[in-house]
A and B are shown apart, each in its own frame.
Chain A
């Protein structure tokens, strides 16, 4: 800590002299520029990336708050922000973001894309320094979902639901550039870019309304486009043979990249997950494996070229997007040193892949309730029912037109959905938290493209059981589950692990909990009185460690919660950031 504090002061002094020299009028910069070097090696007290670091570990080296003392952790202060109010077709907004923190200043974004800069330097309160409203018509926002901002230089990079990327001056809150990234009206953006050097990597959203999605590279300085790689191949391109329909389904094929990816500086590859093919419940509209839906795509940052891919659920009809966090770590697997990409699949399995080649290493069921397949073939990584010669995959309970309702588990929302996961460099365990439950699915081709209903779902899905939650620790060296705790309510939050030996998450009844990182035994809890849709994070200012989390729930998570948990029917929402610390 001492060393880092000195470094921070050094930055401040440099910034101060620069400001004095340049104009003698401008207030000194409160933080040093976020350089490529800092992004590669973030200081322990800061949280510079959406997923903390390039390996997306969400493992913080901070250890002041530890398993020995977390029981005494208290609410330090709260900062109400906007974002709860509805608009357009939505009754409510939502808060799904993970804050970033740079030298005592936090940047958060609400579901409508409004960015807030919060001064945390006095350690006792959060003072909003500026608010950047992006000027979006809420009726143009497909989903009021936004998962964070990125930092580059002296800029805060954010996205909007109408597919714009915005660069804002971190000091003043003034917009520097505003870039429309849409290829079609279906495109949308919901997650912050990943910053590599001077490149912004932006993953497209809007797949479920018929976007053919992409990963886009922008110049961070100007917003100019560098390359764009589509996630669904055009006819004639490799992979196009996996779209065997006569409907031009590829044009509206989905496979969106709606969660920020990971990056390996050693091989210059960025890893992004893709969503389901569209229409999601009607495979007969789009027979074939539908590459590169439900996949991890490994893409060269300089060229945008696809290096390898791994598809988790080919020919999906269960809405098992695989956009969730890609954890990068180096461990021994079966006694051999491997560079691994670990992933909690929305389909209920945890996967280890070789991150240089995409080679499948192992998979283990991590949810409690799973019936859609009898398991994963430990040689190929494919579901055991998978048959490469079939145009329509028949997992255990296939969805077909006219076949009525089929029940599958996990629920269509997971498992672990977009909820960020964590890999602890202290325990070498991966942690994921999500939903336990099942759903009933009926195919309805009137709800596929061209159908009279003009919707993109291809069917309808209803809850068949009450949704509950689980937090699971997986040991990637053995490919086995190490510990699990089941919760009464589902989790739409995410996970943080720290060098203090704790793991944190939050349930939909507002319970924020800390657990032992080996046993997952609960060590501390606080109830915020409203559902949580965002992941916890941690930072330190003036030598003191804080845990922060955005508190407030959106329409979908609440609607699905209260159907089978009537005791929470009157739960109200809020829009606030909560901060916890030791007394």
Chain B
């Protein structure tokens, strides 16, 4: 695990140097680095949608427009100011006192999360996520959020079609939102 990580850093550095010195040749190495990143982003999106089912509460665009059947109240991640480390902690440990579940199956079995066990948390214990996430899955979800969500402008129909791979009723709702936005700016 650690070795892979080191390799990634070295590869990244090499790429950065090449990019500065020899932009023409560097283009050939670009896919190697970005393919790995792209794979993680794509994997993170799949987890966001399916295994972790973040979409249910945060909405497909992570703008906080969750399903009516969710507990509702999940924040927008497009406007989040949380850094990578805090995002990781929140996904791993959940948010005490809210509906945000913990995804580390061993959270609160010891003091790894906020220094607290299940007993310490009492009624503030976050719910357990249904299927959990391993560490590398959590990192991919964050890669996805950083690449596609955090700091991005308000959602568009084009983004919706890209997310789902087709235009569906979710995108009809976005079209309505786009119209409302246009009306406000006019």
Contact = CB atoms under 8 A, between A and B. Distances in A.
A556 B128 contact: no
A211 B166 CA distance: 24
A185 interface: yes
B67 interface: yes
A555 B56 contact: yes
Interface in A435-477: 444, 447, 453-457, 459-462
A562 B73 CA distance: 20
A404 B177 CA distance: 30
B56 A91 contact: yes
A209 B170 CA distance: 13
A182 to B, nearest CB: 10
Interface residues of B, number: 28
Interface in B93-120: 99
Interface string A108-137: 000000000000000000000000000001
A139 B64 CA distance: 18
A89 B128 CA distance: 19
A221 interface: no
17 contacts: A86-B50, A91-B56, A91-B130, A139-B168, A139-B170, A162-B169, A444-B72, A447-B73, A455-B65, A455-B66, A456-B68, A457-B72, A459-B72, A556-B69, A558-B130, A559-B130, A569-B128
Q: Is the interface of B mostly helix, strand, loop or mixed?
A: loop
A120 B71 CA distance: 41
Given A89-B60, A91-B56, A457 B169 contact: no
Interface string A60-103: 00000000000000000000000000101111000000000000
Given A86-B50, A89-B67, A453 B130 contact: no
Contacts of A456: 68
A300 B128 CA distance: 49
B73 A460 contact: yes
B55 interface: yes
A462 B72 contact: no
A457 B68 contact: yes
B72 A460 contact: yes
A140 B73 contact: no
B71 A185 contact: no
B128 A562 contact: yes
Interface string B7-31: 0000000000000000000000000
A566 interface: yes
A137 B65 CA distance: 20
A139 B169 contact: yes
Interface string A136-174: 010110010000000000000000001000000000000
Interface in A194-252: 208-209
A-B interface, 4 closest residue pairs, ranked by CB to CB distance from nearest: A91-B53, A139-B168, A140-B169, A460-B72
A140 B173 CA distance: 11
Contacts of A91: 50-51, 53, 56, 130-131
Chain A contact-residue range equals 20 to 34
B65 A454 contact: yes
Contacts of A378: none
Contacts of B127: 559, 562-563
A209 B169 CA distance: 13
Given A89-B55, A139-B168, 13 more contacts: A88-B168, A89-B56, A89-B60, A89-B170, A91-B50, A139-B170, A444-B72, A455-B66, A457-B68, A460-B72, A460-B73, A462-B99, A555-B53
A561 to B, nearest CB: 11
Interface in B156-177: 164, 166, 168-170, 172-173, 177
A185 B172 contact: yes
B71 A453 contact: no
A455 B68 contact: yes
Contacts of A208: 68-69
Contacts of A185: 169, 172-173
Contacts of B177: 454
Contacts of A457: 68, 72
Contacts of A569: 128
A453 B72 contact: yes
A91 B50 CA distance: 6
Contacts of B166: 137, 139
Kindly name the residue among A86, A444, A559 whose own CB sees the greatest number of chain B CB atoms within 10 A.
A559
Contacts of B65: 453-455
Contacts of B53: 86, 89-91, 555
B54 to A, nearest CB: 10
Nearest to A457: B72
Contacts of A563: 127
A461 B71 contact: yes
A140 B168 contact: yes
Interface in B39-73: 50-51, 53, 55-56, 60, 64-69, 71-73
Nearest to B165: A139
A143 B164 CA distance: 17
Nearest to A139: B168
